[in-house]
Structure formats: C-alpha cells, structure tokens
Structure 1
Amino acid sequence: MIESKWMLHAKKADFNEIGTKFHISPVTARIIRNRDVMGEEAIGRYLFGNVDQMYDPRLLPDMERAVEILEGKIAAGARIRIVGDYDIDGVCSTYILYRGLKRLGAAVDYEIPDRVKDGYGINESIIRAASADGVDTILTCDNGIAAVSQFELAKELGMTAVITDHHDIQTVDDGAGGERDLLPPADALVNPKRRDSRYPNGAICGAMVAYKLIQVMYERAGVPRDEWLEMMEFAAIATVGDVMKLQDENRIVVKEGLKRLGISKNLGIRKLIEKNNLDPKAISAYHIGFVIGPCLNAGGRLQTAKLALSLLLCEDEGEADRLALELKELNDQRKDMTQQGVDQAVALVEERYLNDKVLVVFLPDCHESLAGIVAGRIRERYNKPTLILTRSEDGAKGSGRSIEAYHMFNALVEVKDLLTKFGGHPMAAGFSLPEEKVDEFRRRLNENAMLTEEDFIPKIWIDVAMPFEYINEALIEELELLEPFGQGNEKPQFAQKGMVIRGSRVMGKNRNVVKLNLVNERGLAMDAVVFTDGDEFVAEMGRSRMMDVIYYPSVNEYNGNRTLQLVVRNWKFR
C-alpha cells in the first residue's frame, strides 16, 4: 500500500447540543460538522431535506425567457433540435429535454456529437446540418457556453438558439481593469455560473439545469407534478455520474432519485439494473457511479452515446433487453481495455519514469476515450500528476488527472507553445500536441514542476478516532442517515491504533478478501474484513502482529446470524 499521512479532523462545535437537537449521537454530529454543514437550518436540510426544499428554477438566469421561446416554438410547430453531449450528463440531459418537450407536443429531435469525430460540444457542422434539415431552434444541454463562433454561425443562418449548460464561463477583459463573461449570442442562456445568476447552487450538473427547465414548462402547461418527479432519477444519475458534490440541493435530488430508481417506470433503466444483477431495492450512489453510470457512458466511449439514449427512450421489452445487454458488454470490454492501458502505463512508469515528478505516458494504441480513466488509475497508484497520451489522427491527444499540490491547467499554460489545443481546471485537463513534441512536453513539465516529496504523500482524513466499544447496530443504522455518500459527502472514516492481529486468512475465489480478528488494548475482539489483494496483504504483514486501521463499521449477516465487523479501508502494520 502506498505510504499515506493520516489526518484527524479537528473542527469544533457543540456536538452534544447538536445531537440533542436532532436526536443523533455526538459521533454523527461530529461527522456532519466535518462535512462543513453548520447551523440548524443547514443540518436539518442535510438530514431531512426533501423535494419541497429544492430551489426555485426561475432564479436561474434567462429561465423564463427560455421557457417563453420554447412555448412559442411549440405553438408554432417549429422544429427544435436538442444538441447534447456524449457522457452520462449529456445523455441524461438530452433524455430529460426530449421526453419533456415531446410530452408538451414539440416537433423535436436530437443530435449528440461523436466523441472521436466531433469532439466535445456543438460544432459548425452540426449547426449547418440542422439548418439544412429545416431546424428552427437549437437547444443545447450540458454544452454550448463556450461555443461563441458556432452560435454566431447559427444566428447568421437565421436560427433561434437556447443554451442550457453548467460549465464554467470564459472571461475577457472588460476594458476597465476587470473581467466580463464571454457569452455566445444566444436568445436565452441558462447557466447557474453566470455572474447575474440568483440561483443559490452553482454546482449543479447539466441534467439538473435541463430538469429545472422542464419543471417550469410542465408547471405552466398544467402537467401533473408526478410526471416531473418521475424524471428525477435521471437528474440523480447525472449528478453522481458527473461527479457533482453531494451537498445542498444535489444531495436531495440524489437521495430522492435513488428511491425512485428502485421503482423506476423506465424500461431501459430496469433492464440495465437486471443485466448487472443489482437489487432494485438497494441501489446506492456507488451503483450509479461504478455500475449503471459506466454502462451508460460505454456507448459514448466505444461506439455512440445514442445507444444509451435509445435504451432510455425504448418502450419495447425485447429491444430494451438487447440494448441493455449491448451496453453492459461494451462496458465489460471497456474495463478490459482500461486494464490493458493501466498495465502498459505501469510498466512504462516502472521502467522509465519512476523518478519523474509529473508522469507523462504515451500509449499509442490506447483508445483515446480511455485516457482519462487510465490517468486516474495511475494517479491513484503513484499519487503523482499523470497525463496519458494516445495517438490520434492529428498527432497525440491526452488527458490528465492531478493531485492537490499541482494546478494542472496552469501547468499546461506554461507549455502552451507545444500544444495545439488544451483546456481544463486544477485537477484535470485535456490537450493535443504533435506527436514529435511529446518528449519535450514531458521534459518541460517536469522542469517546471515545483513539487516536493511531501506532495506525493496522500492525506487520508479521519472523522473520529473511535474505539470498538462505541460500535453497535444503533450507530451503524444512524450512519445511514448520512447517505448518499460520494463526492463532497464522503463515507465516514474511523480509526483505531494498536490492534493486535489474533487471526488472519485470505478468502475468495480470486484471493481478494482478507478476514481478520483484531483485539484492542482493553481485550475487546472484533472481526474485520479487507478487500484487497490477499497475497500482497499477507506479504506486507510479514511477521507483524499489530496494526493501526482506518475503518467503517458494518453488520455482517451470514446464515441468519448478525455480527458486527469492521470494513478496513487503510492500514499500517507495526
């Protein structure tokens, strides 16, 4: 296991008072404070928030303008074309808008760019094709905010443009020493990140923006509220899949959406749950992030995102079954291809780049849609900024994933003379450059990096240093109030030092489970389980008979018996 630094949260509050007020334990109160949830209103919303506490969509800029334009187009029978994106947020956004506008009687169709041929977002060829097809109005979702020249063309061609998006907005000098937003010439531009937005939550995904638009249109058209609520599961899938922070309104949507997934009326989703052998009544944010989401993304990565959208729109049992199976098989293929890429990258790092501060690895045969996933895995393994490059038609194309100490976008700005195209933010980036410049790119990034060895040691945050004596079924049940877990609302982590290892054995067909019996300094024993390479764990343990653990408490049910156990997430042998 990679060396890590364990850090204990030390945030202050009156945990007993919070516990009494909300009928929770001081332990749970402390965890909530560690998530920066403060004040009675925020804590109440975190624990018990519901759909009625979601924000008014009309606080989004241009929301009512967009709705009025679309209502007019529907009434006139004008053709509307939705232009989405090829990832899970783009697919869910497109589904919500298409289904919603169809319900309202619109003459609507959709287009989703091809990841390899078109790249991200709307382009001029998509706009020209829409014009040639007699489309009157382009409606984007999960893209469009940066498409200034593209929408200038759309306006030249006499088209109406409505943009819904959630991405960051480019800025330019306002001529007075400040900055102003650089916005495309759209007739309406709905984005929570606009400077003039009054919407309280700027960190919503594209599908949430689309969902809010349909909410207002349904309300004005008198469509029953239940029909709008039925689509919440797709806003939830996109929120988790696009790795939005599960805080504030996002938490409410995901919590409610997960409940609805278990009783979904959507045939495609039900088939996808079935093909992955999931229990519909126990779908969690984990299942969206690591099972359902990757299946919906697999089409856009290896074939076309329209495959996933076709599944969501499908109403034929046999066809839905076929599409769900195809997406699952594509995802299985994607997993195999990803693992091949990771293995190749590891071999190259170990052979050539182990001492580099910034890992730049060229994998010419890796599918370009997998570069970001491979970069993420390599970053996790070495805890170093990682950029994976693949061979494309125009040279090398790459995707990067970073660590807290390294601003990846700024690093690319420093070598922009080598790049043909780039974009991103502190923790991730995408870029292109001529293949012959890859070695210089690697050299200069490493020369410029001001990273120290300390920066390569990952920090693991502990919520509570909690002895075994505090663990009981009531606490474990109470911790479920904190779900759904994910980005911005991480699963709690507890720690205990100086555990005596009374027994250990490797289990599982693939020897990837280790069962432990641990005893604390007061003689209390507790079973523990570690999900890892069992043989590597035993080799690392060697002759050690004592360990420190970071864990999460759980209940193990076996043959009708319920016993407490620890799920060990991290460890250090003594």
Structure 2
Amino acid sequence: MKTEWRLRVTKCDVDKIAKEAGISSIAAKILAGRNIQDVEEVKKFMNASLEDLHDPFLMADMELGTDIILDAIDEGRKIVVYGDYDADGVTSTTILYKGLLNLEANVEYYIPDREAEGYGMSSDRIKALKEEGAEVILTCDNGISAVEEIKLAKALGMQVVVTDHHELPFTETENERKYVLPEADAVINPKRPDCTYPFKFLCGAGIAFKFIQALYLKLGLEEIEAYQFIEIAGIGTICDVVDLIGENRIIAKNSLSMIKNTKNLGLISLMKVLGIKGKEIKSHNIGFMIGPCINATGRLDTAALSVELLTTEDVMRAEELANILYELNKTRQDMTMENVEDIVHIIQNSDLKNDKVLVIYKEDIHESIAGIVAGKIKEKFNVPTIILTRGKEMPKGSGRSIEEYNLFEELLKCRDLMDKFGGHPMAAGLSIKEENILLLRKRLNESCNLTEADITPKIKIDKRISLSMVNEDLINELERLEPFGKGNSSPVFAEKGIAISEVKFLGKNQNTLKLSCLTNNRERIDAIAFDKVEEFKGMLREKYGSGFERVISNPSGLKLDIVFYPVINEYNGYKNKQLRMKDFRLSI
C-alpha cells in the first residue's frame, strides 16, 4: 500500500512569528502546523517553564481531597495508594507513595494483578485491604469508573479519594448522556463536567503530581520539594501517549532534563542496563526503552516490581530489579514479534484481508500483549484492529484505531454483543463471549464507512527543504521542540530528486537500509531507514525488473524523493549529520 504524502498548509505569517518569537522560520512553520500561531503561545511552548503550571487548587475537590489526606497523616491512619499496572499507573503510584512518605504518612501501595483482577478497583481487594487495616484509599490512574467498589469501601467505613484522568462513565438515553461520579469523599479529575481546571489532558501521573504539589503548598513547603516529582511524572506523561502540549509539555520537557542527572537509584540502574546512562535523554528513550521495561512487569509479572525499582534506596536491589525489568521486556518483545508474524500470516491467507475493521481471535496470545499486537497490526495494514485472546472467564482483548475511525463510538453501537468494554476513539479494551466474536466482526464491518482514501497511510510533511539546509544549527533548534509524541509529532521534511551514491544493507538481519545522499553542493549525508530493505528492493524490482540488483551495487543515476527527519548520529565518539527516513519513492 503506497503512502500518501501531504504538505501541511499554514495561512499565518510565519516570518513575522519567527522574528517576534526569536526562532527560525522553519521552527515557526512547524509550530504553525501544530496550531501554535500566537507569539506568546510560541514563547511558552519553547520555554516550557514551571512558572506556567496552573494552580492545582483550580481542580474540583482538590481542597477537599488534600484535607482528607492531611487529616489522615495527622491522625496516623493507614492510607493505601491504589494504583494500576501500566507505566502511568506505576509512576502515579510512585509519586503519591513517595510524596506521602516524605510527610511521614502511614502509607502503603497496592497494584492489582492484570490477569487475576484486571484494571481498576476490585471488591475482593477492598475487603482484603480493610482487613489489613486500611482506613483511607487514595486512587491514582483509576477509580472514576469504580462506582460499586467505592460504595463498598464507604460501607466498610473507609474514606476514598479518587485521582484519575479517564473519561467518566455515563448512562445514555436517546437524546443525552448523563455522566456518573462515584460516591467518593473527593473525586479529582479534570474531565469532570463541573471542573474548571484550564488543562484537561493530564495523565494519571500528572494529576498525582498536582495532588502532591497541592499538599506541599498547604503545608508551606518550598515549591521545589514538589517539583522533584516532575521527573517521574514526565515518564508517565510520555508513556501514556497524552497530547504533549500545555502542562503535559512542561512536565515532560522538564522531566527529560532532570532524568539525565537523576538521583533515583532505580532509574540510574535501568539506564545503565539500557546503555543510555550519561547520554542526552529524549522522548524516544522514555517511550521505547524505559517505558516498555516498566510496562513489562505488569504484563508478565507484577507491576509492584516497577514501583519498588522507582522507590528503592538500596543500590544492589535497584540493580537486581533493573535487570529483572530488562529481561522481562526482552521476553515481551519476543512474544510480541512471534504473534505479530503469526497474525500477519493469518490475515494474508484468509478473507480477513478484505476487512476494513480487523477482529481476530487468537487463543494463545498472552492477554497482556494483545494491545501491543493490535497496535502493530494496525500500523502494518492501517485499519482499526481488535485482537482477542482466551481470558479467564471469556475472550478478552484490546483494539487500536486510526484517526478516521472512532473505535469507542463504533463499539458502543455493538455493546449488546460484549460483556464489558471501555476506552476512547483510538484505543479500547473489551471482553466478549466466544460465540459473539464473529457477530462483532460482521457488524463492525457492515457499519464501517471507511473509504480507500481513509485507510491509505498518510505522512504530513512540515516543509520541503534542500539537504544543504540540514546543519547542526537546524538540528539543535529542532531539539528545542522536544519532547515529541502525540500532539507534538517529530518534524517531518521532504526533498525531491536526491542523488544516491551508495546503497548498503546493515544489521544482523540485513534489514536496515542505508543510503548515501548527495546535497546540491555534492556533500555526502547518510540516510537510514529501519525495516525498509524489502520495500526498497521491491520498488527497484518494479522499475528495473531483474536488473534491480545492478542498480543497488551501482546506483549512479538513481534519484529519490525522501521524507526524513535530521539528527546528529553519535558512534564511537564521532558525530555526523544523518537523515532518518520515514518514506521514499523514485523521482519522476
């Protein structure tokens, strides 16, 4: 499937913005393409200053929730931080637990088991916590949907403070949705309809940080005491794939600068194992290295290991836990790759290849990686994908979608077929009886309005630039736009008619493509693309037939159009400019 290239169009005066904001016109064009077009907004974006964080007490119930916790600390009552098993839940739990420990609270934490208990609060666990002496439950990254479980906790005489960022549950009639709040003592969630907090897109770790910030402010502590938790909040923010704008950007950007010089023993040990200790830490280091290791414990063991890693004060234990996380993630990667290959084979050799919504039941997939597998299948075929596996009571799984398809709303139309489901437009989780799986596939595809244009992969190009414009000054300025992720994607450039002087295939599996490109000044600059070798060979084979191998060995005269992002590559102490290719095609 050929990818469609689209150049972003902006109507504002980019040169004027650049001059007034003190940035290059290229950076101004990139920001304008992300709807950051006001000079003051541009300055705030570039600075990402902690001074621009909002007052935490603007959140509904923040006063009430912090009062409850401070009273519990004063009275020595046992507080349990009730977290979740993903990276956002782990970092949220870490922030609240360490933040309360610093105040000498009587506090413990609990992370549910993914397979035995599933997401969120469990009635059996609430009863067990009560028997263990818990008097106050402080949730993080969960709780907003735990209506019945919170009723039980209250009936057992416990106080409950909810901190969460997920969408509120609702009842629906023909004309309207009525949102339901759990009957907790305090419910802190910016997505509450009555919450006037200016920024609605914090993740669980972001809200946990704001809660600790509010507690410390109430106690008259220096603001820097609360700011230490931004380091951990940034990991949750990047890993939870929330929009990296506003407060999320402030938290994530400041977190990255703090992590490089972290004093956290667990992070130090994990970065050593990953080989990134002492290096500049970027968003991709968090999203594709540190985050997956933290997530792996919740998928294949217990996420409590990750919380222990981030909270331990024992060097040897930190090193032991870092190695456990690293090995668990390697196992998870192998399991994922094997299942993705199997499912690709199933799709390509069945009528599934004709579906515009993929619903696939593979009993032996570990349920903890169903979402990752769904994401990779979605990326390969560019259609909404639901992967189901054998659950404890019935099949369960996860879905991932494309921008043109609201997965949550489409599943809502099929809720009669499912036992449980929840999520948002781009991702969802569900459990369903086996006999209803084919019905779900049939109904989703019959009601699907996706066109061929909708499912054609698209790359949005920020600007066309010549390769001679790629220099260290440009690359350094682009790095100021970090961290990249949802809502602030990595800038993408393109150029036509690039002369290729050499073609190489690298790596153990020869699956990395390296092209030597020539600038207009005949300067050489390397371009790298991972897992694109077969695509490259196929493109040449289609054009040159059996002579395509001669073109590879002697590419004189070969010209390509390339979509890329420029970086400084460091290897064996040497630094050089490099293009990371997103796509390529033969020049016309």
TM-score range, shorter chain: over 0.9
Aligned equivalents of 1:218, 1:31: Cα separation in 2: 38
| Segment of structure 1 superposing worse, 380-389 or 524-533 | 524-533
| Segment of structure 1 superposing worse, 18-27 or 433-442 | 433-442
Cα distance, 1:76 vs structure 2: 1.1
Are the aligned partners of 2:17 and 2:37 in contact in 1 as well (CA < 8 Å)? no
Aligned equivalents of 1:556, 1:230: Cα separation in 2: 31
Tell me which amino acid in the other structure corresponds to 2:210. Answer: K
Aligned to 1:17: 16
Cα distance, 1:386 vs structure 2: 0.9
Aligned to 1:571: 584
Are the aligned partners of 2:161 and 2:186 in contact in 1 as well (CA < 8 Å)? yes
Distance verdict in 2 for CA 1:302–1:565, change over 3 Å? closer
Are the aligned partners of 1:507 and 1:534 in contact in 2 as well (CA < 8 Å)? no
Cα distance, 1:559 vs structure 2: 7.3
Aligned to 1:231: 229
Aligned to 1:141: 140
Aligned equivalents of 1:533, 1:212: Cα separation in 2: 41
> What are the Cα deviations for residues 61-82 of structure 1, in whole angstroms up to 9, with x where unaligned?
1111111111111111111111
Distance verdict in 2 for CA 1:163–1:446, change over 3 Å? same
Aligned equivalents of 2:568, 2:150: Cα separation in 1: 56
Aligned to 2:548: none
Are the aligned partners of 2:517 and 2:527 in contact in 1 as well (CA < 8 Å)? no
Is 1:377 equivalent to 2:390 in the alignment?
no
Cα distance, 1:534 vs structure 2: 6.0
Aligned to 2:547: none
Are the aligned partners of 1:79 and 1:136 in contact in 2 as well (CA < 8 Å)? yes
2:278 to 277, 280, 283: 280
Cα distance, 1:421 vs structure 2: 1.3
Are the aligned partners of 1:513 and 1:529 in contact in 2 as well (CA < 8 Å)? no
Aligned to 1:546: 559
Tell me which amino acid in the other structure corresponds to 2:292. Answer: P
Cα distance, 1:256 vs structure 2: 0.8
- SS of the residue corresponding to residue 455 of structure 1 reads coil
Distance verdict in 2 for CA 1:218–1:558, change over 3 Å? closer
Tell me which amino acid in the other structure corresponds to 2:137. Answer: I
What is the RMSD computed on CA atoms of the aligned residues? 2.0
Aligned equivalents of 2:450, 2:457: Cα separation in 1: 13
Are the aligned partners of 2:21 and 2:39 in contact in 1 as well (CA < 8 Å)? no
2:243 to 242, 245, 254: 245
TM-score (structure 1 length as normaliser): 0.95
1:269 to 267, 270, 274: 267
Aligned to 2:293: 295
Q: Any unmatched runs of 5+ in structure 2?
A: 545-550, 552-557
Aligned equivalents of 1:434, 1:172: Cα separation in 2: 23
Aligned to 2:437: 438
Cα distance, 1:32 vs structure 2: 1.0
- SS of the residue corresponding to residue 482 of structure 1 reads coil
Is 1:495 equivalent to 2:494 in the alignment?
yes
Aligned to 1:454: 453
Are the aligned partners of 1:261 and 1:280 in contact in 2 as well (CA < 8 Å)? no
Aligned equivalents of 1:150, 1:301: Cα separation in 2: 24
Is 1:427 equivalent to 2:426 in the alignment?
yes
Are the aligned partners of 2:244 and 2:484 in contact in 1 as well (CA < 8 Å)? yes
Cα distance, 1:124 vs structure 2: 1.0
Equivalence map 1:13-162=2 (5 Å): 13-162=12-161
- SS of the residue corresponding to residue 348 of structure 2 reads helix
Aligned equivalents of 1:100, 1:413: Cα separation in 2: 39
Cα distance, 1:190 vs structure 2: 0.8
Aligned equivalents of 1:197, 1:249: Cα separation in 2: 16
> What are the Cα deviations for residues 155-184 of structure 1, in whole angstroms up to 9, with x where unaligned?
211211111111111234699x76543101
Aligned equivalents of 1:385, 1:179: Cα separation in 2: 25
Tell me which amino acid in the other structure corresponds to 1:541. Answer: L
Cα distance, 1:382 vs structure 2: 0.6
- SS of the residue corresponding to residue 480 of structure 2 reads helix
| Segment of structure 1 superposing worse, 90-99 or 531-540 | 531-540
Cα distance, 1:224 vs structure 2: 3.7
Aligned equivalents of 1:302, 1:173: Cα separation in 2: 37
Are the aligned partners of 1:94 and 1:110 in contact in 2 as well (CA < 8 Å)? yes
Aligned to 1:335: 333
Are the aligned partners of 2:265 and 2:312 in contact in 1 as well (CA < 8 Å)? yes
Aligned equivalents of 1:213, 1:103: Cα separation in 2: 14
> What are the Cα deviations for residues 523-543 of structure 1, in whole angstroms up to 9, with x where unaligned?
745423222246412343333
Distance verdict in 2 for CA 1:573–1:57, change over 3 Å? same
Sequence identity of aligned pairs in percent?
43
Aligned equivalents of 1:432, 1:62: Cα separation in 2: 33
Aligned equivalents of 2:280, 2:509: Cα separation in 1: 25
Are the aligned partners of 1:7 and 1:459 in contact in 2 as well (CA < 8 Å)? yes
Cα distance, 1:553 vs structure 2: 2.2
Aligned equivalents of 1:159, 1:222: Cα separation in 2: 28
Tell me which amino acid in the other structure corresponds to 2:17. Answer: I
Are the aligned partners of 1:506 and 1:534 in contact in 2 as well (CA < 8 Å)? no
Distance verdict in 2 for CA 1:558–1:130, change over 3 Å? closer
- SS of the residue corresponding to residue 402 of structure 2 reads coil
Tell me which amino acid in the other structure corresponds to 2:425. Answer: P
- SS of the residue corresponding to residue 490 of structure 1 reads coil
Cα distance, 1:419 vs structure 2: 1.4
Aligned equivalents of 1:207, 1:557: Cα separation in 2: 32
Tell me which amino acid in the other structure corresponds to 1:325. Answer: N
Distance verdict in 2 for CA 1:76–1:273, change over 3 Å? same
Tell me which amino acid in the other structure corresponds to 1:197. Answer: C
Aligned equivalents of 2:373, 2:273: Cα separation in 1: 26
